Structure 1
Amino acid sequence: MKAIVLEKPGQLSLIDVDAPAAPGSDEVLVRVKRVGICGTDLHAFGGNQNFFTYPRIMGHELAVEVVAIGPTDISHDYAVGDTCCVIPYLHCGECIACRRGKTNCCTNMQVLGVHVDGGMREQFIVPVDKLIKADGIPVEHLALVEMLCIGAHAVNRARLQSRETVLVIGAGPIGLATAAFAKAAQADVIMMEINDKRLAFCKEALGIEKTIQPGDDTVPELQKLANGDLPTTVFDCTGNANSMQAAFDYVAHGGSLVLVGHIKGDITFSDPHFHSHEMTLIASRNATRADFEWVINTLRAGQINLTHWITHTATPEEVVEVFPSWRDPATGVVKAMLTFD
């Protein structure tokens, strides 16, 4: 059975592995159809991803088909042959976060493709409660659900109000997902990005007319776009320390800063500035089952058009060669995808 393993930073290999055994109690055997390539995967390839261990079969943005279902008392609505997405966050169910319903930040979190082997292989076993049936959604779009959930969860955390002015920093896939769900929440979205092509994509694919590139005059330029004020909610989706620190300067008095991207090191900020603004600082990590259900319902309702998001694809035989190029924004990559059929 084919699998793609990241042996160490910069070394991706196509290997043969044993096919999985029949699913046990509370397990499901799935056939992988599509794998979205996430910033996590790209950062892991570069050796700068938090929580990642090597060697690792990557892949946590997954569209799968149910092959076999093991014995279970857990209620579910899918059958053999159904198309599903996978919730890749394996939580313990017992820690303080899980007991409070915040399974997305479990103290013992194991994420498929990060802490444990993921879905860049033809078949694998997943827990029965980590699938969501999604018949009727194209498999290409289904493999984007987890990515969209990161943005949806961040927007949920921010509790946006209709017509609120929002700044999203970083027009990578997570930034695009955040912007899409901020728009769905009826916010007035401004997108900040250094790459011209990605700003153009925001206008063409998401209909975001207010865009800005960071520079020496960022604050006054933002004020022009926000009717003289600054955004009341800022999402930083870059995973870049300099950007995350600069984002504190873009938040209106009484506003919120949501850090969606994360880094290995520390960030610093001015306490007088932070306190004078009575700023709310929010971390957003992973997503919950409710986020997945919201995203799937949003896609079924046609509220987000994903037609132009997938710009690059590869088969298992091709991915080892082309994967490094997907780290380069100059290639025009928005979202890359691995296809298994």
Structure 2
Amino acid sequence: MNVVRCAEPGRLVFEEQQAPGTPPEGWALVDVAYVGICGTDYHIFEGRHPYLAYPRVMGHEVSGTIAAINAPIAQLNVTVMDVDAERLAFAARQLGFLVIDGSKGSIIETIAARTAGTGFDVVFDATGNSRSMQSAFAYVAHGGVMVMVSVVPDDITFSDPEFHKREMMLIGSRNATRSDFRHVIASIRAGKIPIDQLVTHRTTLRDSPRDIAIWAQQKSGLIKSVIDVAGSG
């Protein structure tokens, strides 16, 4: 097929390259009819784009006909990342989640291997750690969503070129709506949430000052702790 490639800033080359062939799962092959020239394309040609490498085939305002499509079976894969081995083992063994040990190796390389290089469609950060929150932007797929459940007193900064490159959405989540609670309650009643496995520590209201102080330091085996107020007497 024919392409116009920006070999380097200021130099465009018309040339041939091998057609992509059968699209991989989740992708479509488009027989391009028209391509609009965007201001971004001019920036690429002039060498003023902040994060693109050369040589580069430009053009993203595409009009054409779908020539082939390889649609996957819809499914939801949940992956949990932590640096605590016990929590990871629990998530894998008791909840059936895929896990990533954030204390080992390159997280970016691991995520790339798990997602065929695309990243995750939705990333929730509930770590309460500003460094983790800032790093999580790099885990989001193009067009994906970053949800910050964590609330920290620090400033959170991120690379604007990386943010715009992904065309991602950033959401701060602090509260839940009535529909959220209804969904959770219905899921518990239907047995979809393993409460008995998630609640690992219990205390009374009377004993909670002592136990909370202990659990704040001793995290071994702790997933979720609950204060039994009604049964406290």
- Per-residue deviation at 1:249? 1.1
User: Is the Cα contact below 8 Å between 2:79 and 2:97 reproduced in 1?
Assistant: yes
Tell me how large the CA RMSD over aligned residues is: 2.0
Q: Offset at 1:201?
A: 0.9
Q: 1:258 aligns with which of 147, 151, 162?
A: 147
Per the TM alignment, residue 273 of structure 1 is displaced from its structure 2 partner at its CA by 1.0
Deviations 1:105-151 (A, max 9, x none): xxxxxxxxxxxxxxxxxxxxxxxxxxxxxxxxxxxxxxxxxxxxxxx
- When residues 329 and 215 of structure 1 are mapped into structure 2, their CA distance, relative to the original with a 3 A threshold, is farther
Taking the TM superposition and a 5 Å limit, the aligned residue runs for 1:178-217 are 186-217=75-106
TM-score normalised to structure 2 length: 0.63
Distance 1:163 1:238, change over 3 A: farther
**What residue number does 1:333 align with?**
222
What's 1:25 paired with? none
Residue equivalent to 2:63: none
- 2 CA distance for matches of 1:203 and 1:304? 15
What residue ranges of structure 2 are gaps of 5+ in the alignment? 1-71
Determine if contact 1:191/1:199 at 8 Å carries over to the other structure. Answer: yes
d(CA) in 1 for partners of 2:85, 2:134: 22
The 5-angstrom pairing of residues 108-257 of structure 1 reads 186-257=75-146
User: Contact conserved, 2:145 with 2:171, CA < 8 A, in 1?
Assistant: yes
Distance 1:265 1:206 in 2: 32
CA distance in 1, matches of 2:218, 2:116: 32
Q: 1:258 touches 1:282 (CA, 8 Å); kept in 2?
A: yes
Q: Percent identity?
A: 39
Are the aligned partners of 2:91 and 2:99 in contact in 1 as well (CA < 8 Å)? Answer: no
Partner of 1:295: 184
TM-score relative to the length of structure 1: 0.44
Residues 192 and 214 of structure 1 are in contact (CA less than 8 Å); yes or no, is this contact kept in structure 2? no
Q: How far is the alpha carbon of 1:209 from its aligned partner?
A: 2.9
Q: Distance in 2 between matches of 1:270 and 1:163?
A: 34
Tell me the distance in 1 between the aligned counterparts of 2:110 and 2:131: 19
When residues 163 and 266 of structure 1 are mapped into structure 2, their CA distance, relative to the original with a 3 A threshold, is: farther
> Take 1:264 and 1:298, find their aligned partners in 2: how far apart are those partners?
33
**The residue matched to 1:317 in structure 2 has which SS?**
coil
How far apart are residue 197 of structure 1 and its match? Answer: 0.3
**8 Å contact from structure 2 (residues 88, 99) kept in 1:** no
Q: 8 Å contact 2:118–2:142 — kept in the other structure?
A: no
Unaligned runs of 5+ in 1: 1-161, 165-185
